[in-house]
Amino acid sequence: MNVLICVGENYRDFLPLNAYAQSVARNHFGTLHALHFCDSIDEMCDTSIFKNILSAQQCLIVLPKEKFNQVIEILQTQEMVESTIINTSCVEICHTKKNQSADTNVESKIYLMDLLSVKNGGFGESLQENLLYLYPLGIDAQSTQILLSGIAKEFGVCIKVLNSHSNLELLSAMNGDLYGFKVAIEENFSHKIFTTFNFAKSVIALLEARNFKITSAESCTGGLIAYQLTKESGASAVFDGGVISYANAIKEAWLEVSAENLARFGAVSEAVVRDMLNGALRLSGADFALATSGIAGPSGGSASKPVGTIYIGVKGIANGIEIEMIECLHFKGDRNFIQAQATLYAYLLFLKIFFENY
């Protein structure tokens, strides 16, 4: 079991810090099984929470650095400190616990980290990534799971389908030799299945290797397409900028979207998304453009265009090859979830045309 314990009211009440702590834990543990927020170390030592520390295979405790020694002393009284490794990132505490069901000894680790005073998420480069994402391009997720079952067994990897009720086809892989599994997929299925430990970094690397640039013209996603790349270091090599064209007047003035198309088809339409793609490419000089226009809700829907209706387009004009794809999708969920799904789908559509044509 992997456990995250956040000590300090800021972790509980300040949502960006809350999300940061969870992101660090998931990036290195893969699945996060339990999460606790405590205002103080005394509260952390409450029986119900402390039991999770005792039973965890991996436990990350985030708290101010000056509190580390206090926690170590508490763990020592429980005979849970066999070895301690201190590096620039965090304190790693190793101990051995008894697996009662299997009657064996299991090594467990507890990490103490002050997220606000360390770099690179705190764990440095010593820990491997524990969660691999698989994005089938033109194959449904269920078929991909069956197709990869033999390879997964060979590398001791567990595959599961994520978000199975959405238009998105994606899977996750855990345990076993994930790096060997990733290489085997790339060797056997080439560009039919996109594998990555970090989606944005992989897209950046893909574009940078070919000296390509990408841009965006967003309406309903409100800048999430741009954010997906720019949240990662190195994005400036492939992304110069994008346009958030929320109002029709901005679509017309900045992207030269046709007033006739807006009046005849409405902003949520294939014709308008096509104009947005062309306008973004003209403005930016990029090789690829992604565009979205839709109804993220909860209001604004109609019988013909219900909430969740999103037009998503991708256009490439690289190496003398001009390719365009525009699709109409119907996503379910609340506003933020619909926006997140549309953003990811736009990038998957980009990957599909990229690998097929460039």
Of 178, 164, 243, the closest CA to residue 30 belongs to 178
Q: Which pLDDT score, from 0 to 100, does residue 331 have?
A: 95
Dihedral of CA atoms 54, 59, 64, 68 in degrees, nearest 10, equals: 50
Cα Rg for the chain, rounded, in angstroms?
24
Q: Which pLDDT score, from 0 to 100, does residue 121 have?
A: 58
Q: Which pLDDT score, from 0 to 100, does residue 101 have?
A: 53
Rounded CA gap, 29 and 131, in Å? 8
Q: Is the dihedral of CA 310, 133, 194, 216 positive or negative?
A: positive
Tell how strand 83-86 and strand 104-113 pair up: unpaired
Q: Which pLDDT score, from 0 to 100, does residue 242 have?
A: 98
**SS3 sequence, the chain?**
CEEEEEECHHHHHCHHHHHHHHHHHHHHHCCCCEEEEECCHHHHCCHHHHHHHHHCCEEEEECCHHHHHHHHHHHHHCCCCCEEEECCCCEEEEEEEEECCCCEEEEEEEEEECHHHCCHHHCCCCCCCCEEEEEECCCCHHHHHHHCHHHHHHCCCEEEEECCCCCCCEEEEECCCHHHHHHHHHHHHCCCEEEECCHHHHHHHHHHHCCCCEEEEECCCCCHHHHHHHCCCCHHHCCCCCEECCCHHHHHHHHCCCHHHHHHHCCCCHHHHHHHHHHHHHHHCCCEEEEEEECCCCCCCCCCCCCCEEEEEEEECHHHCCEEEEEEEECCCCHHHHHHHHHHHHHHHHHHHHHHHC
Q: For residue range 79-95, list pLDDT tens digits in order.
A: 778 777 776 568 889 88
- Distance from the Cα of residue 241 to its chain's centroid: 21
pTM, two decimal places: 0.81
Q: Which pLDDT score, from 0 to 100, does residue 81 have?
A: 82
Residue found under tokens 């039991």 = 51
Q: Is the dihedral of CA 34, 39, 44, 48 positive or negative?
A: negative
- As a residue count, the chain comes to 358
Q: For residue range 77-133, list pLDDT tens digits in order.
A: 887 787 777 765 688 898 876 555 555 677 888 999 988 876 655 565 444 467 899
Residue 18, burial from CB neighbour count under 10 angstroms (0-12, 13-18, 19+): middle
Residues of the chain with pLDDT under 50: 125-128
Rounded CA gap, 26 and 91, in Å? 18
Tell how strand 58-62 and strand 104-113 pair up: parallel
Residue 281 and residue 289 in contact, taking contact as beta carbons nearer than 8 Å: yes
